[in-house]
Amino acid sequence: MSIPGNQMELREEEIRKHYGAALSLLDGFDHTPRIARATAPAAARERSPGIGARPRFRSTTPGLVTRSTARPEGVRLIERVEATGDDALPSPLQAAVLQGLRRALAIALALGEQFAERTGLDAMKRDNLDGRLAQGRQAEFGELLAAEALVVLSVFANAASVLLASHAPETAVEVGEVEEVLTDNPQLALHGALWELDQDLALLASDPLRLVAVLLAFCEQLLARVEARAATAPRLAAFTGASWRIEADDFAIQGFAPVRRGRGGPLTMAFKRPEQVIGNHIAKHQAMKLAKMLMAYDFERRMNPFAELGGFIFTFMGDGAPGTGKTTLIQMMAGLIHGYCEVAGYPFRYQNLSTENIDSYQGKSGQNAKAFINNILDPAVIGFGTIDDIDQLAGKRGDRQSSAGQLEITAVLMESFAGANTVVRGNCTFGMFSNFPENVDDALRQRAGARFLVDGPQSREDYIDILHLLMGKNHDIPLGRHDLYAAQQIQRAVAASFEGHSRPKEQGLLDVWERVEREIGPLDTIARLGTYLKAIQEADARFTGRAIKNITDAVKVRAMDFELPDDWMEEPDRFLFRPYDEKLGMIRELMGKITVDTVVQEINRYADSEFRYADKSDEAAIEATVRDMERMEEAKRRFAERRG
């Protein structure tokens, strides 16, 4: 596998030279807890001759550890891991855990060493040991040591998570927040983290499978704590501004972000072909286009030409009544991307965020949502993330029925889809689906850059086609007078569907449209179109600047209303494997012009959806109020009868 140009390789010899130090940490050291409190006994197994009670590798900064009268707690992780089994010999899983921990520690120490070299900290350490460090550089020295400690802790947690992920059991374990996070220097930082890990293992790791679960949960918590500390820590640019690849283990270190392997996991899904999606012409057309757009992503440049040109769909919402084909649309799109990636040899990752990710443990729901987002955003893969039944998963702010976990997920999705740190590379897309989009938080719903109305079969021809498709072949019933699947010819059907939005469909929006046309005439200039948008905003205050951005993004997508040729997907050398600038030029040649009709249609498509959501939401609220009033009247009647 080639190393992208913006990555440095962390060579194997640089990692392996730290195996001795890593093994020493696992073998045994004493640690006096400074923040956390001991809750488990120290490992008590008798030590082998020659093993000292002190760590072999000492800090280069004497005096930074605060002295305490508390009894030092012995940490013997090898013994702790072996004690989780019921055999005198370690099991293959226990051995894999120890191997993974040793390698994760070695990777962390190696990267900490590179950080010290890049920042000049290694020279300052030597000067400090020799007593030659200038008094004026003491503060800088302390800040760099703290920065290196955060780097080492983050890399250890990340590497251990990746190396042990394949052994993860189905059952998760809650370990609580990591407290013993010390940043005096890297060695003390690892002592504190490993001491707390040892505490968690003693309390929760009753068998080898739970051993892995506890380890992974601990690494997740440690990474989150370190990432939060790093957000305000100085002198970390040398780490956050670079990227290191560990080739033997197939993953890359990129700042404090969670690390994942480049390859995608196995995908088990009943894929659907485009011809198996009946009706839903615009949604199907845009999903097919988006599947090919994703394939234009350039792994070297880490950017997609469509994202640079402004025609990429990063987030979309598909809404429709139950049974209209939302799941089929997901299966079709995932199948197309999966097939294209297999031909090109690209890693593909699909994941769905479901209601199972809502957790009663405070903060865990948000962590689950963030892990889902990071999995899909991973720039080393082509990603497709779906959030089915988002109205049940993400809470609506101000709704007393929304749980704390649902509101956590809402906050994470809002920040991830259109936050200050959101970067759209064009390697992934997120689809939100709902039968009741009016129940989705307004601000979250408006973060869907595109709207797919999934309304299922509509015409007589659609119903004949879907009946024939679902009947299968085990019959000899004649078709009759019908041109099978002719109505599903995508270009003709899509053109008719877009033309249907030349006028609004929702009555509330139609009233606005007719009033504006009477006052200013046809909407054929930027000024008149802007007047129409302002009139919509006056009718619905939720129609804000974000709505205008979503509409203009959709217009740019329409300017690219073409599908990349099939042979570009089937023969990767013709397009996919071309240099980024060549791909950009090839796409420019296919682009069309933006027309007034396109802008009007996209305004109406988007505004229709908002008015539809508002009408449904208002109607649901009215019905609920009517039911409450009826119950109150009945209660008054019964109360009066009892008193009489």
- Among residues 316, 309, 294, 277, the alpha carbon closest in space to that of 605 is found at 316
Please list the residue range(s) of the chain that carry CATH number 3.40.50.300.
274-504+542-603
- Neighbouring CB atoms inside 10 A of 272's CB total 19
| pLDDT of amino acid 621 | 67
Report how far residue 45's alpha carbon sits from residue 59's, in angstroms, rounded to the nearest whole number: 27
Question: Which distant-in-sequence residues (6+ apart) come within 8 Å of 280 by Cβ?
Answer: 324, 325, 329, 452, 453, 454, 455, 456
Residue with tokens 């390698």: 103
**Contact call for residues 83 and 45 (beta carbons, < 8 A):** yes
Separation in Å, CA 99 to CA 164, 166, 195:
10, 13, 18
- Among residues 425, 224, 475, the alpha carbon closest in space to that of 308 is found at 425
Question: Which distant-in-sequence residues (6+ apart) come within 8 Å of 63 by Cβ?
Answer: none
Helix (H) or strand (E) segment spanning residue 453: strand 450-453
Binned average pLDDT, 10 residues per bin, the chain of 644 residues: 57 94 93 84 49 39 39 80 83 90 96 93 91 90 94 94 81 84 94 94 88 91 92 91 84 80 53 66 80 90 87 84 77 90 88 81 80 85 90 80 86 86 88 83 82 74 79 82 69 63 83 90 89 88 79 77 79 89 88 84 82 66 79 87 80
Instruction: Tell me the torsion sign for CA atoms 26, 28, 31, 36.
Output: positive
**Contact call for residues 224 and 370 (beta carbons, < 8 A):** no
Phi first, then psi: what are they for 125, rounded to 5°? Answer: -65, -45
**Contact call for residues 168 and 216 (beta carbons, < 8 A):** yes
| pLDDT of amino acid 56 | 38
- Could you write out the three-class secondary structure of 4-25? CCCCEECCHHHHHCCHHHHHHH
Question: Which distant-in-sequence residues (6+ apart) come within 8 Å of 207 by Cβ?
Answer: 84, 85
| pLDDT of amino acid 495 | 60
Q: End-to-end distance of the chain based on CA atoms, in angstroms?
A: 87
Which neighbouring-strand residues pair with 453? 319
| pLDDT of amino acid 139 | 92
Q: What is the DSSP letter of 220?
A: H
| pLDDT of amino acid 12 | 92
**Contact call for residues 600 and 531 (beta carbons, < 8 A):** no
Grouping H, G, I as helix, E, B as strand and the rest as coil, residue 316 is strand
- Neighbouring CB atoms inside 10 A of 583's CB total 22
Which neighbouring-strand residues pair with 30? 74
Report how far residue 542's alpha carbon sits from residue 537's, in angstroms, rounded to the nearest whole number: 7
In which region does residue 63 sit, left (phi positive, over 0), alpha (psi from -120 to 50) or beta (all else)? left
Helices 208-230 and 364-377, axial angle in degrees (round to 10)? 80
| pLDDT of amino acid 67 | 36
**Contact call for residues 25 and 190 (beta carbons, < 8 A):** yes
The one-letter amino acid at 359: D
Return the CATH class of domain 274-504+542-603: alpha beta
Residue with tokens 């090109």: 344
| pLDDT of amino acid 114 | 93
Grouping H, G, I as helix, E, B as strand and the rest as coil, residue 318 is strand
| pLDDT of amino acid 198 | 93
| pLDDT of amino acid 61 | 41
**Contact call for residues 147 and 112 (beta carbons, < 8 A):** no
What are the tokens at 347? 């890693």
